[in-house]
Amino acid sequence: MMLSSGKHHCMRAACALWLVLALIAGLSGCGITQYGVTFSSTSGGAVTSPGEGTFTYDFCTQVTLVATPESGYRFVGWSGGSAPIEDVSSPITIITSVHGRYRVKANFEEIPPDQLSLTVSSTVGGSVTVPNEGTFTYNIGTLVTLVATPASGYRFVSWSGDVGNIADVTSPSTSINMQGSYAVTANFEPVSAITYSLSIFSTAGGSVTSPGQGTFGYVGGTVVNLVASAEAGYRFVNWTGSVGTIVNISSASTTITMQGNYAITANFEPITVVTYNLNISSTAGGTVTNPGQGTFTYGAGAVVSLVAAPAAGYRFVNWTGNVGTVANVNSASTTIAMQGNYFITANFEIVQPVKYRLTISSGSCGSVTEPGEGVFTYDGGTVVTLVATPARRYEFAGWSGDVGTIADVNSATTTIIMNGDYTIKANFERARRLP
């Protein structure tokens, strides 16, 4: 674990000051330039670096600490009073500077019986970046991702330890199925400055655009980007040849790690376009305005909009025929998914007008002269003119009955709108002023 440059600068400054003080104290005969640090642990684990017991360090020494839990236990934290431990919650950390006598203890606790422990570590030359290094707890059956990242000049070799449930022990990016408590290690090795050749080819229908086609030289361990580009009417299939270190042989954009001399090929194939016919017709009383009527050709899976427009006096009923993929057979505006050759028909029917009855009568001393008195039948929505004529020496007094749609109930000449069956009466009264 590395300190930031700021922390290093502060630590060096502090150590320089302490060293001056120590030298002055030494000149007076009472200088102490070494300190004893005692390491211990609770049950369930041990301090594996630097070990347990008392160790003597020069003033300002940086000490690496590693706490390793036993099976069934997990690391909790470091305790030690005034010891300058960089991260007390990490099993791998440092004492930033020894400038006194310390007692440092690694604390462990038992993992609950319903959880399993996974202890992850690495050799020199890299680290485990997912899930990190240390001890972690998971429920049984959890699939844990493992990612090992080599340092510059190193390469990943394999996973070792309890690797029975690791998907691929030779891959730096893999997973482990937690069926028990495990300890695994990521192993790295130096990459020698050997140059390897990478020969790249492609089949008809495309090419490798990165790094190109031909033979290229790379230092061992180099990760090379591969990009295969298909021509119009073709698609990428896979990489073949020396594909052992290609991350994903089925991806047109991937990488290959140079650990030997390799020859690889990008493979392409023609794209087969499947088309289907849609035959559209309609019954009398309307037409299909979108996409029209006749036969149309579409690619497999195309979703086609359908719009049926009725003629005046008609209404849309439904779609019939091969309607299995029609979204709504009862809607004049819908869609059909082209998964085969289809014949469909838009169906229309005549809109029958609704008939209503108007019953008209009048009181004494007058009559309804238009449309007359009695029972009359009209289409729904018809506007009927009403004229009431009083006898001599009488005057119109108003309409009564179902007068909700009469324009003016106080007018002898008015109208009524036929929105239902109505019964109305014209009323008269003696004129107030006689001629």
- pLDDT score of 193: 64
With b meaning 16 or more CB within 10 Å and e meaning fewer, what string describes 342-369?
bebbbbbeeeeeeebebebebbebbbbe
> With contact defined as beta carbons under 8 Å apart, do 65 and 134 qualify?
no
**Whether pTM exceeds 0.95:** no
Q: Quick check: helix, strand or coil at residue 19?
A: helix
Nearest CA-CA partner of 180 in 158, 159, 162: 162
Q: How many CA atoms lie within 13 A of 229 on its CB side?
A: 7
Instruction: Give 157-211 pLDDT, tens digit per residue.
Output: 999 999 999 999 999 999 999 999 999 999 998 876 678 999 999 999 999 999 9
**pLDDT below 70 — which residues of the chain?**
1-32, 192-193, 433-435
- pLDDT score of 314: 92
The residue extents of the domains of the chain are 5-110, 115-190, 195-270, 275-350, 355-430
- pLDDT score of 15: 56
- pLDDT score of 434: 53
Long-range contacts of 391-396 (CB under 8 A, 24+ apart): 391/365, 391/366, 391/428, 393/430, 393/431, 393/434, 394/365, 394/366, 394/428, 394/429, 394/430, 394/431, 395/428, 395/429, 395/430, 395/431, 395/432, 396/366, 396/426, 396/427, 396/428
